Amino acid sequence: MAAVAVIGAGFVGLSSAYWLMREGHQVSLYEPRGAAGGASFGNAGTFANYACIPVNNPSVFRDLPRYLFSSQSPLRVRWSHMHALAPWLTRFLWASTPVRYTATATALSNLLARAQSGYDAMLAEADLQRFVRPQECLYLYSSAAAFEGARQTLQLRRRLGVESEILDADAIAQLEPQLSPIFHRGALFKGSWHLSDPSAFLHGLLAYLQAKGLVVHPVAVTTVQANDRQVRVLGLNHESAYDYLAICAGVYSKALAAQCGDDLPLQAERGYHLMFPGSAPLIARPVGWAERGFYMTPMAHGIRVAGTVELAGLGEEMHPGLLDLLNFASHRALPGLGAPQSPWLGFRPTLPDGLPVLGRSRHSARVLYAFGHQHIGLTLGGLSGSVVADLVSGRAAALDLHAFRAQRFKYFNYERGGSASVIAP
């Protein structure tokens, strides 16, 4: 039995604590904001087992002018942040070529095919099944051109084992009659589900773990010191030593990983949501509008409209144009929505190749990484937690972690003056 510290109380961090404690380890959790204090609070709530198509794909070369200059684009880049973002964008484009994009999609599909196994025991043992809504996600295309543009990605999903049913306009209307009759085609993804309240789910999981002996420190970890015998964790007026440390702190993992020998190109991908109270009966399932880049998910307190991407760092200032775009597009899709409330901004941890980091640090086998899950932290949280437990216990993980190792970036490091012509093995 080992003493393990976990940094982060989102889906990945709390799942790691669950799997570690299930195997008998002593776990201490570090999180100054409590459960769901970061990006896990405001996500779309979807278990997206179909989400193997990364944002970095060949279409970005065609769509980049629209992304950068159109007021209707669901992706924005703040020009004041461009200097800091340029190395990341270069890597992002490098990872968007057909061969690398296909490799990323394949690696993601290998994770997603096992994602449900990360939650099955947790849902039953922690009495969390009550938050699960089994209705499958519906992805919509509002024109024949949009659907044709997505045909290759739908075919790739199918080749990678993602099951879906293609619906025409009549079938869409029959399934979700309150939607506006503007949608040409839809894809219904088999085996997907959503949560009625992601934050309540995580608070329930935390309460269960505390009852089982989880120690919670409301401390922001500032320093990590690792050697071959132990890991020291330091924060304001706090210092403790552990056998292992799992860094699951989302976008805030970058600075801690750097102390452990891994300089990672982790960026904050700013995502937004709006809540429409009392509107949940309008739809029965998560509905995504592909061209507009957002989801509408029926939850306990109304419909949550979540999505868009803004690359602008960790500032707290919201982009009013993106909130207006979410409001306009969601009313266009679902006219029965009322007035929005509770605008929210969160920071998704994103790496330029679209893959998370799972594995050990460069300098110490006692420091474990599980972060950078971009849009699918909820989906992969349970599985990532089980990987952390495997590594602590010295077992071979249930899947090959080579594609997700932190060291995959060491041959492509602009920040340190490396050459873009050198490709990581």
Q: Report yes or no: 354 and 54 within 8 Å, Cβ to Cβ.
A: yes
pTM of structure: 0.93
If pLDDT is split at 50, 70 and 90, which confidence band does 385 have? very high
If pLDDT is split at 50, 70 and 90, which confidence band does 414 have? very low
**Residue 87 within a domain:** yes
**Residue 421 within a domain:** no
The domain that holds 362 is classified in CATH as 3.50.50.60
**Residue 196 within a domain:** yes
- Exposure b/e, 345-365, CB count within 10 A at least 16 = b: bbbbbbbbbbbbbbbbbbebe
pLDDT at 419: 28
**Residue 425 within a domain:** no
**226 vs 59, which has greater pLDDT?**
226
Average pLDDT, stretch 330-359? 96
If pLDDT is split at 50, 70 and 90, which confidence band does 69 have? low
Domain count, the chain: 1
Q: Which two tokens stand for residue 269?
A: 């991908």
Would you give the end-to-end CA distance of the chain in angstroms?
Answer: 35
The conformational region for residue 173 under phi > 0 = left, psi -120 to 50 = alpha, else beta, is: alpha
Q: How far apart are CA 422 and CA 425, in angstroms?
A: 9
Average pLDDT, stretch 318-342? 95
Q: What is the DSSP string of 229-257?
A: S-EEEEETTEEEEESEEEE--GGGHHHHH
Domain housing 76: 3-416
Among 145, 144, 150, 188, CA closest to 166: 188
pLDDT at 397: 78
Question: Cα 250–23–193 angle (5° rounding)?
Answer: 55
Mean pLDDT of the chain: 92
pLDDT at 416 over 90: no
Q: Report yes or no: 305 and 274 within 8 Å, Cβ to Cβ.
A: yes
Q: How far apart are CA 74 and CA 67, in angstroms?
A: 7
**Residue 223 within a domain:** yes
Q: How far apart are CA 90 and CA 149, in angstroms?
A: 24
**Residue 422 within a domain:** no
**pLDDT tens for each residue of 222-246:** 999 999 999 999 999 999 999 999 9
